[in-house]
Amino acid sequence: MLLRQLEYFCAVCERGSFTRAAEDHFVSQSAISQQVKSLESELGVRLLERKGRGFVITPAGQVLYRKGSDILSQLDDLRFEVEGVANGYATSLTVGYLNRYDGWEVQAAVAAFAARHPGIEINAVGGSHDELYRMVVSGEADLVFNDRRRELSGDFVNLHLMTGFGYVEISEIDPLSERDAVSVRELKGRCAILIAAPEMAEVERTYYRDHLNFDCEFRFVGSREEGRMLVAGNHGFMPIEMRQSEGASGAIVKRIPLVDATGKQASQSYYAFWLKSRTNPLVEEFAEILKGLFV
């Protein structure tokens, strides 16, 4: 069995037409037909039953199409990786994501990319806004999923993905947990639990205090799970953002919309960022997967 025979046969099955399969491969229809007939002769089975101007895939043909498509996909991955090593292309991908965003899309994109390219190493690293910015500028991350705190730069590809809506998570025993919404002013004097590494704590404190106008004490944790444990024990509230403007609320930790002085829910734009000078096919493919999940 020749690889070309398998490619042509799978193309005919996928396109449902010898003509369209021939057009896709820039060969004549007779060439496609001859290769499929040769494949049938070599295997000693009928793969396609011709009916008038069309055809029906036989049970044997369905098995070959299903498993043959998987083999061709694996060969494409293998070719990509071999060419990548030979030509110095990237063979790994590091993705940064904002550690206070409470969504599933980045994880799903990582899983989808890993399934497509089992031979490519993919790593995901969480961080605060400034940590992610430093990582992508220094090359520690190839692409980051981050909120927009700075003016968009022409040095980057700035792919808008979503608008995140602001919430606070608060203990069920806190009187504010009964509210339909809460404002920054109503949180004055409480303890805001923020996710940040020790070296980024002052940066995050300044952003929340001076830009978002939180007049609070601040306590820093290393992960969302650690923050939620503190919230559950009524040690403060934790600001988060979600894709939905209405989010489910738990029984122990309540999630309440955060609103501004006009009663409008707080929001923030999210982007995929990567340096134009470091773009490559892997980064672009991951960005397209991520964009598709948000759409």
pLDDT of residue 234: 96
Q: What is the mean pLDDT of the chain?
A: 89
The model's pTM:
0.63
Mean pLDDT is lowest, of 51-65, 93-107, 238-252, for 238-252
* pLDDT bucket at 106, cuts 50 / 70 / 90: very high
- pLDDT tops 80 at residue 228: yes
- Give yes or no for residue 248 having a pLDDT over 60: no
* Helices and strands, number each (H, E), in the chain: 9, 12
Q: Is the pLDDT of residue 230 over 80?
A: yes
| Mean pLDDT of the 74-103 span | 76
Q: Calculate mean pLDDT across residues 104-128.
A: 91
pLDDT beyond 60 at 88:
no
**Section 205-219 average pLDDT:** 93
Q: Where would I find the beta strands (DSSP E) of the chain?
A: 48-51, 54-57, 92-98, 121-127, 143-147, 156-171, 182-183, 191-195, 217-221, 238-242, 253-259, 267-275
